[in-house]
Structure 1
Amino acid sequence: MTAPDSVLVVGASAAGLGTAEALRRKGYQGRLTVLDAEAGLPYDRPPLSKQVLSGAWEPERSHLRAQDALDALEAEFVLGDAAVALDVAGRTVRTASGRELSAQAVVLATGLRARALPGQEDVRGVHVLRTLDDCVALRTVLREAKRVVVVGNGVLGSEIAATAAGMALDTTLVGLQPAPMAEQFGPRVARTLGELHVRNGVRLLNDTGIGSLAHAEGRVTGVRLASGEHLPADVVVVAIGCVPATDWLAGSGLRLDDGVVCDARCRAAAGIWAAGDTARWYHEELGTHVRLENRTNATTQAAAVAADILGAEVAYTPTPYFWTDQFDVKIQVFGTPTDDAEVTIVEGEEGGRFVARYDRGGRVSAVLGWNMPKQARLHSRSLGQPSPALAPDGPSSAVIAPTTTA
């Protein structure tokens, strides 16, 4: 396969910028353009809910690269101009300002957009956290607030609640899950995470739905729960998940189903690839389409897409992996924990530092490390192998080794 003479990357996200950098690193010398709706320099998202929101970092520290590093890519950065339409056959993107950008290869890396509660855009004091501007705005109001309610007890909501509690705010975390991050960890470890939050002053309302926002004179005063209870708040943060930012691709002819649907090499169509949070590709080893919303996947998938653009012809088959930092705990997950998995503590002690192994269908399906990063990585080598209790001679060497680490 001959390398294209031009590549257009739509989205200056970690995946988008990572694709551009990987192309140059692999020797690509063609024309390279990076388009993004935001006007500022590309930035990293994981620190937004933690270091930047708490004030430990200034916003600029979240930038992925300094300006001189971006200049060294010899790419054209078209920032502050959103993509609004894609002509797949012509590999041409039209922008909000009316520009038309064409290339032989187009990479879609537009990421996610935050879900909102009905009517929240008309109420001051209600925030989401997706962009750097969102983070700066939320940090500003939290400095003056006393009571905050975080709606949504998934990954982002749990991280925001931990940060807010660390800022000495009266913090309530409300969500439909039976414990914080139960969908990500399974019930046993989620209960341990909930206990960590409670010890650090967070009020948890699990298995709890929201009825509506309470407000007066256009400003939020709290939330009304589905039960009718009123939770007073100076600030409400909505963290009820995100959806792939693919609205602009409607009518393009690409298959859109919880992201841009791709083949095993992250190709959505001839000359069109997708990377990062918006890509839903066929994982040959798992035998299903997968979409991963995490920073590690953004980097590794960007490298895989760049390699395929240059003719590698290799399927992308990473081990699912993510991490979260809350209070003084770093939690790392290799594989996919599920509610029906049997959980065994294989190192350490639950409630302190530990490694948990998840067994499902007679095989190791996931490994979770709680402040034990090295040990979790070592245990992750057993992913895909028969569960030790079922292996006649003890655990064997890994079939699927993790492709990335934090």
Structure 2
Amino acid sequence: MVQLSDGEAVPYDTLVIATGVEARQLPAAEGIGGVSTLRDYQDALKLRGALVDGNHLLVVGAGFIGLEVAATAISKGCVVDVVEPAPSALMGKFPAELAERIHDTHVDRGVRFHFGQVVDQWHVENGEITSVTLSQGQTLRADAALVGIGTIPAVGWLEGAGLELANGVVCDHVGRAAEDVYAVGDVSNWHHPRLGENRRIEHRLSAGEQAQVVASVLTGDAVPALDPPFFWTDQYDEKWQAYGYIHADAEVEIVLDDPEANRLVATLKRGGKLDAVIGKNAAKHLIPFRRELRAAETQTIEQ
């Protein structure tokens, strides 16, 4: 059974955990007007209201959320500063060679990056942010700020419940966390047979596909193979798409580079095996690689 916050006990035959994630916060910035994260509709409305021509936007975090917001803000006429403690954008999330291209596009559009730094002081007037001072002493005007420093799986309510919790709810390859207990979506840490390990995948399509797998298990239908992870990011006039498993030690080969069409395709391999493909404005060109990756995933599960 599950006990609710008002004390009511709700019995179940099968439990599916789909509580998602919470935005990681910066304690020093909590409660300051004009500083927000981006997790829900109200956050989006609040941020949109700050993207006004001439406003200065501070973005903390050079991940995908931070860079997408930076691109949108630049298109609205904002002055954008991105503060990132790592030495480069998208570190650990994207191959360095490709992340550098994304970074260069932002610089060409006017985004100012401050790598290897954190916000040391938040300056406030009448409860609203006005500026920040960085760890190397530079002060930046900030009419608004977005904190995009990742997420935390929403598993606090499961402490002591007997489930294995490690970067989310640990599951097998069909989402089973314990007898009659399953988890799907951002909160779940599924086992991926082709990797031979567990990984928490925070992509919208993966959440839907995991739900289909669990639904098939519960209804006794044929269980579909979980598709390799797929996500995309839209920044300016560039749509980057990634399919498969991205590893830091992968060998990156650019198999198509067409500057005039602003198009690129890169493969990621380890030990000669294709692990992922990444494209920029190249959806059709990714199709054969996606077929190869999907076939390899299905074959692994069947074995």
Task: Normalising by structure 1, report the TM-score.
Answer: 0.68
Give the alignment partner of residue 368 of structure 1, picking from 278, 294, 299. 278
- 1 CA distance for matches of 2:55 and 2:156? 37
Does the 8 A contact of 1:152 with 1:174 survive in 2?
Answer: yes
1:104 Cα deviation after fit: 1.3
- 2 CA distance for matches of 1:235 and 1:144? 13
- 2 CA distance for matches of 1:110 and 1:256? 14
- 2 CA distance for matches of 1:401 and 1:158? 34
- The code of the aligned residue for 2:209 comes to T
1:243 Cα deviation after fit: 0.6
- 2 CA distance for matches of 1:248 and 1:174? 33
Does the 8 A contact of 1:266 with 1:316 survive in 2?
Answer: no
Does the 8 A contact of 2:279 with 2:286 survive in 1?
Answer: yes
Give the alignment partner of residue 204 of structure 2, picking from 295, 302, 305. 295
User: Structure 1 residues 310 and 291 mapped into 2: Cα distance closer, same or farther (>3 Å)?
Assistant: same
SS in structure 1 of the partner of residue 92 of structure 2: helix
Residues 218-367 of structure 1: matches in 2 within 5 Å? 218-312=127-221, 314=223, 317-349=226-258, 352-367=262-277
Partner of 2:84: 175
SS in structure 2 of the partner of residue 183 of structure 1: coil
1:350 Cα deviation after fit: 5.7
Does the 8 A contact of 1:353 with 1:372 survive in 2?
Answer: yes
User: Structure 1 residues 237 and 400 mapped into 2: Cα distance closer, same or farther (>3 Å)?
Assistant: same
Q: Does 1:146 align with 2:43?
A: no
- 2 CA distance for matches of 1:340 and 1:262? 26
Structure 1 stretch 310-319 or stretch 232-241: which is displaced more? 310-319
Alpha-carbon displacement from aligned partner over 1:136-159 (angstroms, at most 9, x marks no partner):
122223348710010000111111
Give the alignment partner of residue 155 of structure 1, picking from 30, 44, 64. 64
Alpha-carbon displacement from aligned partner over 1:186-214 (angstroms, at most 9, x marks no partner):
11000100111122221122333332423
Alpha-carbon displacement from aligned partner over 1:358-383 (angstroms, at most 9, x marks no partner):
22222222210100011112223344
- The code of the aligned residue for 2:143 comes to D
Does the 8 A contact of 1:334 with 1:368 survive in 2?
Answer: yes
Q: CA RMSD in A?
A: 2.3
- 2 CA distance for matches of 1:321 and 1:253? 32
User: Structure 1 residues 333 and 343 mapped into 2: Cα distance closer, same or farther (>3 Å)?
Assistant: same
Does the 8 A contact of 2:209 with 2:226 survive in 1?
Answer: no
Does the 8 A contact of 1:265 with 1:316 survive in 2?
Answer: no
- The code of the aligned residue for 1:365 comes to D
Partner of 1:105: 14
- 2 CA distance for matches of 1:401 and 1:301? 15
Does the 8 A contact of 1:108 with 1:272 survive in 2?
Answer: yes
Residues 45-64 of structure 1: matches in 2 within 5 Å? none
Does the 8 A contact of 1:174 with 1:208 survive in 2?
Answer: yes
- 2 CA distance for matches of 1:326 and 1:144? 18
Structure 1 gap ranges (5+): 1-89, 385-397
1:313 Cα deviation after fit: 7.4
- 1 CA distance for matches of 2:255 and 2:51? 40
Q: Percent identity?
A: 37
Alpha-carbon displacement from aligned partner over 1:332-375 (angstroms, at most 9, x marks no partner):
11122333322221123368201111222222222101000111
Partner of 1:12: none
- The code of the aligned residue for 1:369 comes to G
Does the 8 A contact of 2:190 with 2:198 survive in 1?
Answer: yes
SS in structure 1 of the partner of residue 157 of structure 2: helix
- 1 CA distance for matches of 2:75 and 2:147? 19
1:315 Cα deviation after fit: 7.9
SS in structure 2 of the partner of residue 359 of structure 1: strand
User: Structure 1 residues 194 and 370 mapped into 2: Cα distance closer, same or farther (>3 Å)?
Assistant: same
User: Structure 1 residues 116 and 196 mapped into 2: Cα distance closer, same or farther (>3 Å)?
Assistant: same
Does the 8 A contact of 2:225 with 2:298 survive in 1?
Answer: no
1:302 Cα deviation after fit: 0.9
Structure 2 gap ranges (5+): none
User: Structure 1 residues 347 and 93 mapped into 2: Cα distance closer, same or farther (>3 Å)?
Assistant: farther
SS in structure 2 of the partner of residue 119 of structure 1: helix
1:312 Cα deviation after fit: 4.3
Partner of 1:399: 296
- 2 CA distance for matches of 1:248 and 1:144? 43
- 2 CA distance for matches of 1:139 and 1:129? 11
